[in-house]
Structure 1
Amino acid sequence: MVPISILLNVVHGFSALIYFGAIMIFGAVFAPRLAKLSSSTLYELFKEIFPPVLSFAEAVGLLTMVFGAGEFLHYMIGYYQLGGTSLVYTVLFSTPWGASVLSGAIIGLVGFLVGVRIATLFERLFKLYKSTNPSSLDEIRVVEAKLRMYSLIGMVLLSATVLLMVLAVSFLPLPT
Protein backbone atom coordinates (compact mmCIF):
# COMPACT_ATOMS: atom_id res chain seq x y z
CA MET A 1 0.00 0.00 0.00
CA VAL A 2 1.23 3.50 -0.91
CA PRO A 3 1.70 5.81 2.09
CA ILE A 4 -0.65 8.77 2.08
CA SER A 5 2.25 11.25 2.18
CA ILE A 6 3.64 9.90 -1.10
CA LEU A 7 0.23 9.97 -2.78
CA LEU A 8 -0.40 13.56 -1.61
CA ASN A 9 3.08 14.62 -2.69
CA VAL A 10 2.88 13.04 -6.15
CA VAL A 11 -0.56 14.40 -7.03
CA HIS A 12 0.27 17.83 -5.60
CA GLY A 13 3.62 17.98 -7.41
CA PHE A 14 2.30 16.73 -10.76
CA SER A 15 -0.72 19.03 -10.79
CA ALA A 16 1.48 21.94 -9.67
CA LEU A 17 3.79 21.38 -12.64
CA ILE A 18 0.85 21.44 -15.04
CA TYR A 19 -0.68 24.51 -13.39
CA PHE A 20 2.63 26.38 -13.24
CA GLY A 21 3.31 25.64 -16.91
CA ALA A 22 -0.17 26.72 -17.99
CA ILE A 23 0.00 29.97 -16.02
CA MET A 24 3.48 30.79 -17.29
CA ILE A 25 2.57 30.13 -20.90
CA PHE A 26 -0.55 32.23 -20.60
CA GLY A 27 1.07 35.05 -18.62
CA ALA A 28 4.26 35.25 -20.67
CA VAL A 29 2.96 34.37 -24.14
CA PHE A 30 -0.76 35.00 -24.55
CA ALA A 31 -1.70 37.88 -22.23
CA PRO A 32 0.93 40.35 -23.51
CA ARG A 33 -0.14 39.76 -27.10
CA LEU A 34 -3.92 39.96 -26.77
CA ALA A 35 -4.03 43.66 -27.67
CA LYS A 36 -2.16 42.97 -30.93
CA LEU A 37 -4.76 40.53 -32.25
CA SER A 38 -7.70 41.51 -34.40
CA SER A 39 -11.18 41.63 -32.89
CA SER A 40 -12.35 38.67 -34.95
CA THR A 41 -9.38 36.55 -33.81
CA LEU A 42 -9.97 37.55 -30.21
CA TYR A 43 -13.65 36.77 -30.54
CA GLU A 44 -12.85 33.26 -31.76
CA LEU A 45 -10.26 32.74 -29.01
CA PHE A 46 -12.67 33.89 -26.32
CA LYS A 47 -15.53 31.90 -27.78
CA GLU A 48 -13.84 28.60 -28.63
CA ILE A 49 -10.39 28.20 -27.04
CA PHE A 50 -10.11 30.10 -23.78
CA PRO A 51 -13.22 28.79 -21.93
CA PRO A 52 -12.11 25.11 -21.85
CA VAL A 53 -8.47 26.07 -21.25
CA LEU A 54 -9.50 28.36 -18.39
CA SER A 55 -11.71 25.65 -16.89
CA PHE A 56 -8.84 23.15 -17.09
CA ALA A 57 -6.38 25.59 -15.46
CA GLU A 58 -8.86 26.34 -12.66
CA ALA A 59 -9.45 22.63 -12.04
CA VAL A 60 -5.73 21.84 -11.94
CA GLY A 61 -5.13 24.85 -9.68
CA LEU A 62 -7.77 23.62 -7.25
CA LEU A 63 -6.33 20.10 -7.37
CA THR A 64 -2.90 21.52 -6.58
CA MET A 65 -4.28 23.52 -3.66
CA VAL A 66 -6.33 20.67 -2.20
CA PHE A 67 -3.52 18.13 -2.32
CA GLY A 68 -0.97 20.70 -1.11
CA ALA A 69 -3.21 21.55 1.84
CA GLY A 70 -3.68 17.83 2.47
CA GLU A 71 0.06 17.31 2.47
CA PHE A 72 0.58 20.28 4.81
CA LEU A 73 -2.13 19.02 7.19
CA HIS A 74 -0.69 15.51 7.09
CA TYR A 75 2.69 16.82 8.29
CA MET A 76 1.16 19.16 10.87
CA ILE A 77 -1.03 16.39 12.31
CA GLY A 78 2.07 14.22 12.59
CA TYR A 79 3.93 16.95 14.45
CA TYR A 80 0.91 17.57 16.65
CA GLN A 81 0.76 13.88 17.59
CA LEU A 82 4.46 13.94 18.45
CA GLY A 83 4.47 17.09 20.59
CA GLY A 84 1.23 19.04 20.50
CA THR A 85 0.71 22.62 19.43
CA SER A 86 4.08 23.75 20.77
CA LEU A 87 5.90 21.42 18.36
CA VAL A 88 3.69 22.54 15.44
CA TYR A 89 4.42 26.16 16.31
CA THR A 90 8.15 25.44 16.60
CA VAL A 91 8.23 23.60 13.27
CA LEU A 92 6.34 26.34 11.41
CA PHE A 93 8.03 29.39 12.89
CA SER A 94 11.46 28.21 14.06
CA THR A 95 12.72 25.97 11.26
CA PRO A 96 13.72 26.95 7.73
CA TRP A 97 11.54 24.14 6.35
CA GLY A 98 8.45 25.35 8.21
CA ALA A 99 9.01 28.99 7.32
CA SER A 100 9.48 28.08 3.67
CA VAL A 101 6.38 25.89 3.51
CA LEU A 102 4.19 28.31 5.46
CA SER A 103 5.25 31.39 3.48
CA GLY A 104 4.96 29.44 0.22
CA ALA A 105 1.45 28.34 1.15
CA ILE A 106 0.39 31.88 2.03
CA ILE A 107 1.86 33.34 -1.17
CA GLY A 108 0.28 30.47 -3.13
CA LEU A 109 -3.12 31.24 -1.66
CA VAL A 110 -2.76 34.92 -2.57
CA GLY A 111 -1.67 33.83 -6.06
CA PHE A 112 -4.73 31.62 -6.35
CA LEU A 113 -6.93 34.59 -5.42
CA VAL A 114 -5.21 36.61 -8.16
CA GLY A 115 -6.06 33.71 -10.49
CA VAL A 116 -9.70 34.01 -9.46
CA ARG A 117 -9.53 37.71 -10.36
CA ILE A 118 -8.04 36.78 -13.74
CA ALA A 119 -10.90 34.34 -14.32
CA THR A 120 -13.38 37.12 -13.49
CA LEU A 121 -11.69 39.42 -16.01
CA PHE A 122 -11.88 36.66 -18.60
CA GLU A 123 -15.60 36.31 -17.98
CA ARG A 124 -16.00 40.07 -18.54
CA LEU A 125 -14.03 39.81 -21.77
CA PHE A 126 -16.16 36.88 -22.94
CA LYS A 127 -19.28 38.99 -22.42
CA LEU A 128 -17.76 42.10 -24.00
CA TYR A 129 -16.68 40.25 -27.13
CA LYS A 130 -20.12 38.70 -27.49
CA SER A 131 -21.68 42.17 -27.20
CA THR A 132 -22.46 43.99 -30.42
CA ASN A 133 -22.15 47.35 -28.70
CA PRO A 134 -19.35 49.37 -30.39
CA SER A 135 -18.79 51.40 -27.20
CA SER A 136 -17.52 48.27 -25.47
CA LEU A 137 -14.20 48.56 -27.35
CA ASP A 138 -12.81 51.01 -24.78
CA GLU A 139 -13.88 48.75 -21.94
CA ILE A 140 -12.28 45.78 -23.71
CA ARG A 141 -8.94 47.60 -23.81
CA VAL A 142 -9.19 48.45 -20.09
CA VAL A 143 -10.02 44.85 -19.18
CA GLU A 144 -7.17 43.56 -21.38
CA ALA A 145 -4.73 45.92 -19.60
CA LYS A 146 -5.95 44.67 -16.21
CA LEU A 147 -5.61 41.10 -17.44
CA ARG A 148 -1.97 41.71 -18.44
CA MET A 149 -1.23 43.33 -15.06
CA TYR A 150 -2.87 40.57 -13.02
CA SER A 151 -1.18 37.91 -15.16
CA LEU A 152 2.20 39.42 -14.36
CA ILE A 153 1.39 39.61 -10.65
CA GLY A 154 0.14 36.01 -10.74
CA MET A 155 3.31 34.81 -12.46
CA VAL A 156 5.50 36.51 -9.85
CA LEU A 157 3.49 35.10 -6.93
CA LEU A 158 3.35 31.63 -8.45
CA SER A 159 7.10 31.68 -9.16
CA ALA A 160 7.82 32.70 -5.57
CA THR A 161 5.56 29.91 -4.31
CA VAL A 162 7.25 27.32 -6.48
CA LEU A 163 10.72 28.47 -5.42
CA LEU A 164 9.81 28.31 -1.74
CA MET A 165 8.23 24.87 -2.10
CA VAL A 166 11.16 23.49 -4.11
CA LEU A 167 13.50 24.90 -1.48
CA ALA A 168 11.49 23.22 1.28
CA VAL A 169 11.23 19.79 -0.30
CA SER A 170 14.60 19.63 -2.03
CA PHE A 171 17.17 21.38 0.11
CA LEU A 172 15.81 21.99 3.58
CA PRO A 173 15.69 19.04 5.94
CA LEU A 174 12.30 17.96 7.25
CA PRO A 175 12.19 18.87 10.95
CA THR A 176 12.62 15.95 13.33
Structure 2
Amino acid sequence: MKIRLIDKSDWSSYQKLRLNALKAASESFGSTYEREVKFSEQEIIERISPNSSKFFMGIFDGKELIGMVSFHKEIGEKDRHKGDIYGMFIHGDYQNKGLAKLLLSTLINKVKEEYPDLEQIRLSVVSNNISAVKLYGHLGFEKYGVEINALKTGDKYFDEDLMVLFLK
Protein backbone atom coordinates (compact mmCIF):
# COMPACT_ATOMS: atom_id res chain seq x y z
CA MET A 1 0.00 0.00 0.00
CA LYS A 2 1.22 3.47 -0.84
CA ILE A 3 -0.19 6.82 0.26
CA ARG A 4 0.38 9.87 -1.90
CA LEU A 5 -1.27 12.99 -3.25
CA ILE A 6 -3.85 12.45 -5.93
CA ASP A 7 -3.07 14.52 -9.01
CA LYS A 8 -4.52 15.10 -12.45
CA SER A 9 -3.05 11.85 -13.80
CA ASP A 10 -5.30 10.01 -11.30
CA TRP A 11 -8.51 11.59 -12.54
CA SER A 12 -10.00 8.36 -13.93
CA SER A 13 -9.12 6.30 -10.82
CA TYR A 14 -10.49 9.07 -8.61
CA GLN A 15 -13.77 9.23 -10.54
CA LYS A 16 -14.18 5.45 -10.42
CA LEU A 17 -13.69 5.36 -6.63
CA ARG A 18 -15.78 8.48 -6.05
CA LEU A 19 -18.72 7.02 -7.97
CA ASN A 20 -18.31 3.78 -6.03
CA ALA A 21 -18.43 5.79 -2.79
CA LEU A 22 -21.54 7.68 -3.85
CA LYS A 23 -23.30 4.38 -4.60
CA ALA A 24 -22.03 2.40 -1.60
CA ALA A 25 -22.55 5.10 1.03
CA SER A 26 -24.93 7.58 -0.57
CA GLU A 27 -26.13 8.85 2.82
CA SER A 28 -22.59 9.90 3.77
CA PHE A 29 -21.99 12.46 1.04
CA GLY A 30 -23.57 15.77 0.14
CA SER A 31 -23.37 14.98 -3.56
CA THR A 32 -24.99 12.21 -5.57
CA TYR A 33 -23.94 9.58 -8.09
CA GLU A 34 -26.42 11.01 -10.60
CA ARG A 35 -24.77 14.45 -10.39
CA GLU A 36 -21.14 13.36 -10.47
CA VAL A 37 -21.40 10.67 -13.15
CA LYS A 38 -21.92 13.59 -15.56
CA PHE A 39 -18.65 15.35 -14.64
CA SER A 40 -16.22 15.78 -17.50
CA GLU A 41 -12.56 14.85 -17.34
CA GLN A 42 -11.71 18.56 -17.06
CA GLU A 43 -14.13 19.10 -14.17
CA ILE A 44 -12.62 16.17 -12.29
CA ILE A 45 -9.07 17.36 -12.94
CA GLU A 46 -9.96 20.85 -11.67
CA ARG A 47 -11.51 19.32 -8.55
CA ILE A 48 -8.57 17.10 -7.59
CA SER A 49 -5.62 19.26 -8.67
CA PRO A 50 -3.76 20.42 -5.57
CA ASN A 51 -3.20 24.11 -4.86
CA SER A 52 -2.06 26.20 -1.90
CA SER A 53 -5.28 25.62 0.03
CA LYS A 54 -6.41 22.10 -0.92
CA PHE A 55 -5.23 18.62 -1.76
CA PHE A 56 -6.61 15.15 -2.25
CA MET A 57 -4.75 12.20 -0.78
CA GLY A 58 -5.14 8.59 -1.80
CA ILE A 59 -4.10 5.15 -0.72
CA PHE A 60 -3.13 2.85 -3.56
CA ASP A 61 -2.88 -0.92 -3.83
CA GLY A 62 -0.42 -1.10 -6.69
CA LYS A 63 -1.89 1.30 -9.25
CA GLU A 64 -5.46 0.98 -7.95
CA LEU A 65 -6.84 3.85 -5.86
CA ILE A 66 -8.64 2.16 -2.97
CA GLY A 67 -9.11 5.03 -0.52
CA MET A 68 -9.25 8.81 -0.57
CA VAL A 69 -9.77 11.93 1.46
CA SER A 70 -9.45 15.65 0.80
CA PHE A 71 -8.31 18.64 2.83
CA HIS A 72 -9.38 22.23 2.24
CA LYS A 73 -7.83 25.14 4.17
CA GLU A 74 -9.97 28.19 4.78
CA ILE A 75 -8.51 31.27 3.11
CA GLY A 76 -10.56 34.10 4.59
CA GLU A 77 -8.78 36.53 6.86
CA LYS A 78 -10.77 35.56 9.95
CA ASP A 79 -11.02 31.82 9.41
CA ARG A 80 -7.70 30.85 7.83
CA HIS A 81 -6.74 29.14 11.10
CA LYS A 82 -9.16 26.32 10.17
CA GLY A 83 -9.31 23.55 7.61
CA ASP A 84 -11.78 20.85 6.67
CA ILE A 85 -11.66 17.18 5.76
CA TYR A 86 -14.10 15.99 3.10
CA GLY A 87 -14.92 12.88 1.13
CA MET A 88 -13.26 10.21 3.27
CA PHE A 89 -13.82 6.77 1.74
CA ILE A 90 -12.15 3.37 1.67
CA HIS A 91 -13.34 0.83 -0.92
CA GLY A 92 -15.48 -1.88 0.69
CA ASP A 93 -12.99 -4.66 -0.10
CA TYR A 94 -10.35 -2.84 1.98
CA GLN A 95 -12.39 -1.66 4.96
CA ASN A 96 -11.65 -2.75 8.55
CA LYS A 97 -7.94 -3.19 7.86
CA GLY A 98 -6.68 0.03 9.48
CA LEU A 99 -6.27 1.82 6.16
CA ALA A 100 -8.62 4.71 6.99
CA LYS A 101 -6.65 5.41 10.16
CA LEU A 102 -3.38 5.26 8.22
CA LEU A 103 -4.68 7.56 5.49
CA LEU A 104 -6.09 10.11 7.94
CA SER A 105 -2.98 10.05 10.13
CA THR A 106 -0.87 10.73 7.05
CA LEU A 107 -3.15 13.60 6.07
CA ILE A 108 -3.02 15.13 9.56
CA ASN A 109 0.78 14.95 9.59
CA LYS A 110 0.95 16.59 6.16
CA VAL A 111 -1.37 19.37 7.31
CA LYS A 112 0.77 20.00 10.40
CA GLU A 113 3.90 20.24 8.23
CA GLU A 114 2.49 22.35 5.41
CA TYR A 115 0.25 24.66 7.42
CA PRO A 116 2.10 25.31 10.70
CA ASP A 117 -0.28 28.15 11.64
CA LEU A 118 -3.38 25.97 11.31
CA GLU A 119 -5.15 25.56 14.65
CA GLN A 120 -7.98 23.16 13.90
CA ILE A 121 -9.25 20.60 11.45
CA ARG A 122 -12.99 20.08 11.18
CA LEU A 123 -15.14 17.39 9.64
CA SER A 124 -18.72 16.20 9.65
CA VAL A 125 -19.81 12.59 9.72
CA VAL A 126 -23.24 10.99 9.46
CA SER A 127 -24.18 10.37 13.11
CA ASN A 128 -25.17 6.74 12.61
CA ASN A 129 -21.81 5.86 11.00
CA ILE A 130 -20.52 4.52 14.31
CA SER A 131 -17.25 3.09 12.96
CA ALA A 132 -16.28 6.43 11.37
CA VAL A 133 -17.22 8.41 14.50
CA LYS A 134 -15.12 5.99 16.55
CA LEU A 135 -12.16 6.28 14.14
CA TYR A 136 -12.19 10.08 14.27
CA GLY A 137 -12.37 9.94 18.06
CA HIS A 138 -9.30 7.67 18.18
CA LEU A 139 -7.43 10.24 16.09
CA GLY A 140 -8.26 13.00 18.58
CA PHE A 141 -11.33 14.58 17.00
CA GLU A 142 -13.94 15.81 19.46
CA LYS A 143 -17.64 16.17 18.80
CA TYR A 144 -18.78 19.77 19.23
CA GLY A 145 -22.27 19.60 17.83
CA VAL A 146 -24.87 17.88 15.70
CA GLU A 147 -26.51 19.22 12.59
CA ILE A 148 -30.04 17.84 12.64
CA ASN A 149 -31.36 16.69 9.23
CA ALA A 150 -28.05 17.69 7.61
CA LEU A 151 -28.59 15.48 4.57
CA LYS A 152 -31.76 14.26 2.90
CA THR A 153 -32.17 11.33 0.54
CA GLY A 154 -35.69 10.92 -0.73
CA ASP A 155 -37.81 11.40 2.37
CA LYS A 156 -35.15 10.18 4.81
CA TYR A 157 -32.97 12.56 6.83
CA PHE A 158 -29.49 12.01 8.26
CA ASP A 159 -27.96 13.95 11.14
CA GLU A 160 -24.26 14.78 11.08
CA ASP A 161 -21.86 14.97 14.01
CA LEU A 162 -19.60 18.00 13.78
CA MET A 163 -16.08 17.16 14.96
CA VAL A 164 -12.86 19.10 15.42
CA LEU A 165 -9.22 18.27 16.02
CA PHE A 166 -7.37 21.06 17.81
CA LEU A 167 -3.76 21.29 16.67
CA LYS A 168 -2.72 24.03 19.12
TM range (shorter): under 0.3
The alignment's TM-score, normalised by the length of structure 1, stands at 0.25
The structure whose Rg is larger is 1
> TM-score, normalization: structure 2?
0.26
Q: Relative CO higher for 1 or 2, CA cutoff 8 Å, sep ≥ 6?
A: 1
User: Which has more helix, going by share of residues?
Assistant: 1
